[in-house]
């Protein structure tokens, strides 16, 4: 995996999510005048609910709302892609309530919306089929679309701009998976693990659940495996240390299916 040039989006500092702990936050209450959920929020909510194991919502923030969240919660709105606010008793270190929603940045939602709406998924390519030796001389046929990244390698030579976008699609998909894992982590009354444990689990389980997210957005599980592997190879190494405190490795403590040979 050397000839994919890292796109401009910084690999070095991309917190995929931010778990806020310490402050007890009242669970959100729906108001009658709240705007109705956008289609991508509904779809992302279904995907997140399946991962979290209970009904949860996904909220797509607009630019002003995201900026306000960033100021109120003290994160860098330009770098963070999504977050779940966890209500924790700071003394007893136990979860107070199950969070009912994840918030996604406008950028995360734009990429998820574009992905869900695309008939030809943007993480796939038209990959030329190599003619078998006996049929050399015939023109290679192009098959319609297949995963553009398989087992850690690109399957076709694509312009840099393609991979810059692929990178952001991978982060958006990984963010939804990551936040959905966070939503499932918090159980009222249960002790809260360390932030590093929460982030490492959400990151590594999230990566393994990316094929499920891709399938939920209308892509194929095969393509989802490629996107997950891309994330593991090219996004994960640049994430902050607390997201990698417990290593995300095949057969490790965070491997969801340690005996099946499938990784990630």
Q: How far is the CB of 16 from Zn ion (least distance, A)?
A: 6
With binding defined as CB under 5 A, does residue 202 bind Zn ion?
yes
The residues, ordered by sequence, that sit 6+ positions from 121 with a Cβ below 8 Å of its Cβ are 115, 145, 214, 218, 219, 220, 223
**For residues 125 and 204, which CB has a smaller minimum distance to Zn ion in the complex?**
204
Candidate residues 14, 19, 40, 214; the one interacting with Zn ion per rule CB under 5 A: 19
- Token pair for residue 236? 């994960």
Of residues 17 and 104, the one with the C-beta less far from Zn ion = 17
Shortest separation between residue 223's beta carbon and Zn ion, angstroms: 24
Structure tokens at 64: 């002003």
Q: Which residue is nearest to Zn ion (CB)?
A: 17
Write down the least CB distance from residue 32 to Zn ion, Å: 32
Tokens of residue 9, six digits = 């989006």
Rg (C-alpha) for the chain, rounded Å, is 19
Q: Is 248 in the site for Zn ion (CB under 5 A)?
A: no
40/2 Cα distance (integer angstroms): 34
Q: How far apart are CA 183 and CA 159, in angstroms?
A: 37
Contact between 14 and Zn ion per CB under 5 A: no
In degrees and rounded to multiples of 5, residue 185 shows phi and psi of -75, -40
Does residue 254 bind Zn ion (CB under 5 A)?
no
Q: How many residues bind Zn ion (CB under 5 A)?
A: 4
Nearer to Zn ion, 124 or 208 (CB): 208
Stretch that binds Zn ion, among 16-24, 29-37, 61-69, 249-257 (CB under 5 A): 16-24
Considering the complex, what minimum distance in angstroms separates the CB of residue 202 from Zn ion? 4
3-state DSSP helix/strand/coil % of the chain, to nearest 5: 40, 10, 45
**Token digits of residue 133:** 């030796």
Work out whether 52 is an interface residue with Zn ion (CB under 5 A). no
Q: Which is nearer to Zn ion, 19 or 232 (CB)?
A: 19
Q: Which of 228, 235, 234 is nearest to 250 (CA)?
A: 228
Region near Zn ion per CB under 5 A, out of 31-39, 99-107, 197-205, 246-254: 197-205
In the bound state with Zn ion, the residue whose beta carbon lies nearer, of 89 and 242, is 242
Q: Is 17 in the site for Zn ion (CB under 5 A)?
A: yes
Cα-based distances in Å from 162 to 84, 118, 127, 158, 244: 30, 15, 14, 6, 27
Least CB distance to Zn ion at residue 245 (A):
12
- Say if residue 264 is preceded by a cis peptide, omega within 30 of 0: yes
**Least distance to Zn ion, CB of residue 206, Å:** 8
Phi, psi of 152 (to 5 degrees): 90, 10
CB of 76 to Zn ion, least distance (A): 14
> Residue numbers of the site for Zn ion (CB under 5 A)?
17, 19, 199, 202
């Amino acid at each position: 995996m050397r000839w994919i040039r890292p796109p401009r989006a910084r690999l070095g500092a991309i917190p995929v999510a931010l778990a806020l702990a310490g402050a007890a936050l009242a669970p959100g209450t729906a108001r009658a005048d709240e705007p109705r959920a956008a289609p991508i929020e509904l779809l992302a909510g279904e995907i997140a609910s399946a991962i979290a194991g209970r009904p949860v919502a996904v909220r797509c923030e607009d630019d002003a709302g995201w900026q306000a969240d960033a100021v109120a919660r003290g994160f860098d709105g330009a770098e963070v892609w999504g977050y779940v606010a966890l209500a924790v008793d700071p003394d007893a270190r136990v979860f107070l309530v199950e969070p009912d929603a994840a918030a996604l940045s406008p950028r995360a939602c734009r990429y998820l919306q574009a992905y869900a709406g695309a008939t030809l998924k943007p993480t796939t390519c038209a990959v030329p089929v190599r003619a078998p030796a006996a049929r050399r001389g015939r023109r290679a046929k192009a098959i319609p679309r297949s995963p553009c990244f398989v087992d850690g390698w690109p399957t076709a030579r694509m312009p840099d701009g393609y991979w810059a976008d692929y990178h952001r699609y991978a982060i958006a998909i990984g963010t939804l998976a990551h936040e959905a894992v966070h939503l499932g982590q918090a159980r009222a009354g249960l002790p809260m693990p360390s932030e590093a444990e929460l982030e490492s689990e959400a990151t590594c389980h999230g990566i393994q659940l990316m094929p499920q997210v891709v399938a939920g957005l209308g892509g194929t599980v095969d393509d989802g495996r490629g996107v997950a592997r891309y994330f593991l190879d090219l996004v994960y190494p640049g994430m902050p240390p607390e997201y990698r405190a417990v290593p995300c490795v095949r057969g490790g403590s965070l491997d969801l299916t340690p005996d099946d040979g499938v990784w990630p």
